[in-house]
Amino acid sequence: MPREVHVIDSHTGGEPTRVVVSGAPDLGSGSISDRLAVFRRLHDPFRSAVVNEPRGYDAMVGALLLPPADPAHHAGVIFFNNVGYLGMCGHGTIGVVATLAHLQRIQPGTVRIETPVGLVSAELHPNGEVTVANVESYRLAHNVEVEVEGFGPVHGDVAYGGNWFFLVAGSPFPLDLLHLEALTDYTWKIRQALARHGITGANGAEIDHVELFGPPQLPGSHSRNFVLCPGKAYDRSPCGTGTSAKLACLVADGKLAEGQTWRQESVVGSFFDGSVSIRDGKVYPRIRGTAFVNADSRLILNDADPFCWGIRS
């Protein structure tokens, strides 16, 4: 019998999130990290079926909604994309909260969500905006030089915001939609160079996101970015975890303090408002944005379909 998977799609600043509400494989009842390990080991084709073509496309981020390990929390979630799994996802968390509101499972107020990298809380505001209180974010290394094929030495910061980022100030190409191909090629080469030179996050973690920053184009915003995601798609939103990494760098540079807002705009012209709370010297970013639900549908997984499990590169 073909299997049906209930999904709800939304976008946050243009970046899509597909929340799997039911029809997913049983991952057991361990911690979210334990369930991620089961997902990765035994059910990876399901990830591909949900986000890859012919049902999805490279920019699609999936969010598997799970019962929380701790009943005091509202939900657990595992984020995934066209090539694998994400520790955290800022735009995706905003999409999950908008989806829970669409399903009338939550009202305005605080939502506590378990992710593989820790507990994240989010505030659903009465006007539908969402503020995500992210995991601790920090800069690991400042002004790291890497030799990039065809471009020479490039300098950037290595920082964590729930995923690992290399943050580069400036770009040889304007951060706009006319230059997406060149920006993708440049940032992909930076990522390859980081891997080639053994430049990693903490404990050897791969740096799988690259972020370029340039001057803002919208009134009231502080900077525009281009973010390359692990599977070579670019983030249509300003990237919640990428903005968290940026906020941690700004705090480390003495350029942002508690109570101040940093408006980060994306390459498509959407924006997040970022701020920080600092506890015991540690930086905890807050990302405020809006998601719009734009589809509520059933995926059909039919084993007789040769592309049932997605087109995988």
Rounded distance between C-alpha atoms, residue 167 and residue 227, angstroms = 9
The answer to whether 308 is a known catalytic residue is no
CB of 282 to ligand PYC, least distance (A): 19
Least Å from the CB of residue 182 to ligand PYC: 20
Q: Which of the stretches 28-36, 169-177, 190-198, 232-240 binds ligand PYC when contact is defined by CB under 6 A?
A: 232-240
What is the chain's length?
A: 313
Q: Which of 239, 247, 249, 283 binds ligand PYC (CB under 6 A)?
A: 239
Place of tokens 């969500």: 113
For the bound state, the minimum distance from the C-beta of residue 310 to ligand PYC, rounded and expressed in Å, comes to: 18
Q: Pick one of 7, 24, 61, 194: the residue that binds ligand PYC (CB under 6 A).
A: 61
Q: Among 48, 99, 223, 237, which residue interacts with ligand PYC (rule: CB under 6 A)?
A: 237
Site membership for ligand PYC, residue 211 (CB under 6 A): no
CB of 48 or CB of 93, closer to ligand PYC? 93
Half-sphere exposure of 210 (CA within 13 A, CB side): 26
**At its nearest, how many Å lie between ligand PYC and the CB of residue 72?**
25
Nearer to ligand PYC, 131 or 308 (CB): 131
Between 156 and 240, name the residue whose CB sits nearer to ligand PYC.
Answer: 240
Give whichever of 47 and 308 is closer to ligand PYC, judged by the CB atom: 47
Cis ω on the peptide bond leading into residue 54 (within 30° of 0)? yes
Report if residue 97 touches ligand PYC, rule: CB under 6 A: no
The token duo for 80 is 């995934």
Contact present, 157 and 148 (Cβ < 8 Å): no
- Of 245, 244, 246, 241, the residue nearest 223 (C-alpha): 246
Task: Identify which of residues 15 and 265 has a Cβ nearer to ligand PYC in the complex.
Answer: 15
Question: Is residue 90 near ligand PYC by the rule CB under 6 A?
Answer: yes
Q: Which is nearer to ligand PYC, 48 or 134 (CB)?
A: 134
- Binders of ligand PYC in range 251-280 (CB under 6 A): none
Select from 86-94, 122-130, 171-179, 195-203 the region that touches ligand PYC (CB under 6 A).
Answer: 86-94
CA-CA distance, 240 to 132, in Å (whole number)?
Answer: 9
Strand partners, 86: 79
Residue 52 as a binder of ligand PYC (CB under 6 A): the answer is: no
User: HSE of 207 in the Cβ direction (CA atoms, 13 Å)?
Assistant: 34
Question: Which of 215, 197, 214 minimizes the C-alpha distance to 206?
Answer: 197
Q: Is 239 a catalytic residue?
A: yes
Q: Which of 64, 61, 84, 55 is nearest to 12 (CA)?
A: 61
Q: How many residues bind ligand PYC (CB under 6 A)?
A: 12
- Between 11 and 30, how does the x/- string for binding to ligand PYC read (CB under 6 A)? ----x---------------
| 65 touches 20 (CB < 8 A) | yes
Which is closer to ligand PYC, CB of 248 or CB of 308?
Answer: 248
Which residue in 89, 229, 249, 308 is the catalytic one?
Answer: 89
For the chain, list the strands marked E by DSSP: 3-12, 15-22, 61-66, 75-80, 85-86, 109-115, 118-124, 130-133, 138-148, 152-160, 164-169, 209-214, 223-228, 262-265, 271-279, 282-289, 291-301
- Show which residues are catalytic: 89, 239
Residues binding ligand PYC (CB under 6 A) = 15, 61, 86, 89-91, 229, 235, 237, 239-241
